[in-house]
């Protein structure tokens, strides 16, 4: 049986406050917008992301047959409209697994974009997806 063990980094929502009195919010996963506290939004984000990955993962048969495992590092942008753009693998494992990582990220739903001083802003995210066979 194949599993995807994944690690999130830079995807947890938080409030940004700079010393020059600028402020903003981090990206919010669809379905978490109604929550008030950043802690609740962060927990919701983590849960929704895990559910999304579990529902949409297709461990490549080629990788299963060859017992290929490893961590794919993916970079992408959440633009000012909340859309996922510019998906790239910054460190790959194998073509089939790298392509699955890109496919998974490309399927992410629209996000509530990050804000800074009341304006939507783009954010570049980097995180690892650990593909593990068990």
Report the SS3 class of residue 117: coil
Nearest by Cα to 74 from 12, 21, 30, 126 = 126
| pTM, rounded to two decimals | 0.79
Of 3.30.2420.10, 3.20.20.70, 3.90.1150.10, 2.60.40.1580, which CATH number belongs to 2-133? 3.30.2420.10
**Distance of alpha carbon 35 from alpha carbon 103, whole angstroms:** 29
* Residue among 48, 50, 56, 51 at smallest CA distance from 111: 48
Closest CA to 46 of 59, 36, 32: 32
Cβ atoms of 120 and 114 closer than 8 Å: yes
% of the chain surpassing 90 pLDDT: 43
Cβ neighbour number for residue 60 with a 10 Å cutoff: 19
Distance from C-alpha of 101 to C-alpha of 108, rounded to nearest angstrom: 11
Output the CA torsion sign for 97, 8, 75, 86.
Answer: positive
Q: List the chain domain ranges.
A: 2-133
Calculate the average pLDDT of the chain: 81
Tens digits of residue pLDDT in 68-115? 999 999 999 999 999 999 999 999 999 999 999 999 999 999 999 988
């Amino acid at each position: 049986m194949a599993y995807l063990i994944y690690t999130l980094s830079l995807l947890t929502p938080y409030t940004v406050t700079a010393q020059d009195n600028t402020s903003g919010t981090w990206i919010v996963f669809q379905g978490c917008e109604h929550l008030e506290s950043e802690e609740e939004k962060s927990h919701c984000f983590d849960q929704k992301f895990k559910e999304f990955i579990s529902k949409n993962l297709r461990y490549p048969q080629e990788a299963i047959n060859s017992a290929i495992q490893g961590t794919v590092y993916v970079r992408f942008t959440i633009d000012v409209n909340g859309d996922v753009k510019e998906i790239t693998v910054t460190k790959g494992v194998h073509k089939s697994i790298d392509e699955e990582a890109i496919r998974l990220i490309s399927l992410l739903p629209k996000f509530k974009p990050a804000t800074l001083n009341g304006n939507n802003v783009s954010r570049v995210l980097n995180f690892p997806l650990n593909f593990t066979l068990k």
